[in-house]
């Protein structure tokens, strides 16, 4: 079996990125984001990306780096309140935005990874979220149809990974990453620790290696989104 291990983030992205592709990105705020893969994606120069992610990072980190270089054409997300550049581009009409309730966004990616093309949910009924979408009544309640998401490329961040691509996320980083990992036609994971096959406890694996095509070991900066300290 061909090795899934790549020596750098640039090598891991080589020959799988292209203009106009859809990229799903794990993380919540700045927690659990594939920060080094995002930098490599920026440096690749690809443009007109549709990015599926819970949020858009902050102005100088995470997906905010791709917004700064105008490489994102459209965001599919649930929260964008920490990024002033995102707000500026959206308000000026430079950036397309598709809002989803947070649970709906997670389920759309999970469904796409499970081969489910669509599902019905009550979240968003009667709001702009349901505009131009099919609705249907079940047991006296109205539901809106949401499509599953299958991305051309999925980028995730894990605490540990083995050489077969099995992944373990740590604490809050186990947020959107498991769903993102399943919904990519190609999934690339950056890991803090790379261990031999058989090292991870089987019952503790969060993403099975069958979903992961490429791995790269990185050193994380782990920036804090909003630093709050107590005065003495």
Q: Which residues of 90-112 are buried (b: 16+ CB within 10 A; e: fewer)?
A: beeeebeeebbbbebbbbbbbbb
pTM recorded for the entire structure: 0.94
Q: How far apart are CA 35 and CA 155, in angstroms?
A: 9
Is the model more confident about 181 or about 87?
181
Res. 227: pLDDT tops 80: no
Both structure tokens of 227: 């630093």
Q: Beta-carbon neighbour count of residue 172 at 10 Å?
A: 11
Q: How far apart are CA 36 and CA 51, in angstroms?
A: 16
Average pLDDT of the residues of the chain = 95
Domain annotation for the chain: domains and CATH numbers: 5-116+148-217 (3.40.1080.10)
Pairing state between β 184-195 and 151-162: parallel
Q: Which residues of 189-200 are buried (b: 16+ CB within 10 A; e: fewer)?
A: bbbbebeeeeeb
Position 1 scores a pLDDT of 63
Arithmetic mean of pLDDT, 147-158: 98
> With bands split at pLDDT 50, 70 and 90, how would you rate the model's confidence at 144?
very high
Position 67 scores a pLDDT of 95
Position 231 scores a pLDDT of 80
Position 226 scores a pLDDT of 75
Nearest C-alpha neighbor of 50 from the set 40, 63, 60: 63
Is the model more confident about 230 or about 187?
187
Alpha helices in 47-167 (DSSP H): 64-68, 84-91, 102-114
Using one digit for the tens of pLDDT, what is the confidence trace for 18-58? 999 999 999 998 999 999 999 999 999 999 999 999 998 89
3-state SS, residue 24 = strand
Using one digit for the tens of pLDDT, what is the confidence trace for 182-202? 999 999 999 999 999 999 999
Res. 228: pLDDT tops 90: no
Q: In degrees rounded to 5, what are phi and psi of residue 139? A: 55, 40
Position 81 scores a pLDDT of 76
Q: How far apart are CA 59 and CA 4, in angstroms?
A: 32
Using one digit for the tens of pLDDT, what is the confidence trace for 75-131? 999 987 778 899 899 999 999 999 999 999 999 999 999 999 999 999 999 999 999
Arithmetic mean of pLDDT, 206-212: 98
Burial class (CB in 10 A: 0-12, 13-18, 19+), 5: middle
Arithmetic mean of pLDDT, 149-166: 98
Pairing state between β 118-121 and 141-147: antiparallel
Position 38 scores a pLDDT of 98
DSSP 134: -
3-state SS, residue 193 = strand
Res. 166: pLDDT tops 90: yes
């Amino acid at each position: 079996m061909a090795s899934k291990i790549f020596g750098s983030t640039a090598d891991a992205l080589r020959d799988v990125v292209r203009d106009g592709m859809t990229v799903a990105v794990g993380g919540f705020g700045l927690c659990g984001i594939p920060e080094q893969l995002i930098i490599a994606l920026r440096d690749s120069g690809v443009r007109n990306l549709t990015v599926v992610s819970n949020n858009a990072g902050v102005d100088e980190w995470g997906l905010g780096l791709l917004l700064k270089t105008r490489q994102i054409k459209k965001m599919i997300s649930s929260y964008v309140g920490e990024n002033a550049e995102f707000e500026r581009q959206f308000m000026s009409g430079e950036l397309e935005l598709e809002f989803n309730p947070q649970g709906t966004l997670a389920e759309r990616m999970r469904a796409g990874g499970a081969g489910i093309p669509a599902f019905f949910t009550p979240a968003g009924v009667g709001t702009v979220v349901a505009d131009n979408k099919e609705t249907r009544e079940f047991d006296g309640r109205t539901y809106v149809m949401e499509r599953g998401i299958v991305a051309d490329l999925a980028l995730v961040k894990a605490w540990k990974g083995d050489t077969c691509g099995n992944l373990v996320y740590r604490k809050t980083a186990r947020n959107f990453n498991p769903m993102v990992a399943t919904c990519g036609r190609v999934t690339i994971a950056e890991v803090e620790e790379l261990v031999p096959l058989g090292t991870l406890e089987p019952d503790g694996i969060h993403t099975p290696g069958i979903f992961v095509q490429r791995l790269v070991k990185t050193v994380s900066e782990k920036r804090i989104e909003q630093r709050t300290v107590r005065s003495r």
